[in-house]
């Protein structure tokens, strides 16, 4: 059955594959599903890091601040 998902082909070291396979067995899922979940989580962490950096840069600037309560009134 065809899928709408895009495919990628990864080549990994033996120890990484063993770790993925062990984790997949523990979670009772496939190596592909574990890899997909870990990739999603890694991208979320990268995004969080980026927006944290942007937020810190904005907070470091001297500018007028509006409180959370004032924004949502």
Q: What is the pLDDT of residue 59?
A: 85
* Domain parsing of the chain, residue ranges: 14-56
pLDDT of residue 68: 87
Are 34 and 27 a contacting pair, CB within 8 Å?
A: yes
Lowest mean pLDDT among 12-21, 30-39, 55-64: 55-64
Backbone φ, ψ for residue 72 (5° rounding): -95, 10
What is the pLDDT confidence band of residue 53, given thresholds at 50, 70 and 90? Answer: very high
Axis crossing angle, helix 31-60 with helix 14-27, rounded to the nearest 10 = 100
pTM (2 decimals)? 0.72
């Amino acid at each position: 059955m065809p899928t709408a998902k895009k495919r990628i082909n990864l080549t990994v070291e033996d120890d990484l594959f063993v770790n993925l396979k062990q984790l997949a067995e523990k979670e009772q899922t496939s190596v592909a599903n574990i890899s997909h979940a870990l990739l999603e989580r890694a991208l979320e962490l990268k995004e969080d890091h980026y927006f944290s950096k942007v937020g810190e840069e904005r907070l470091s600037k001297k500018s007028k601040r509006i409180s959370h309560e004032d924004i949502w009134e």
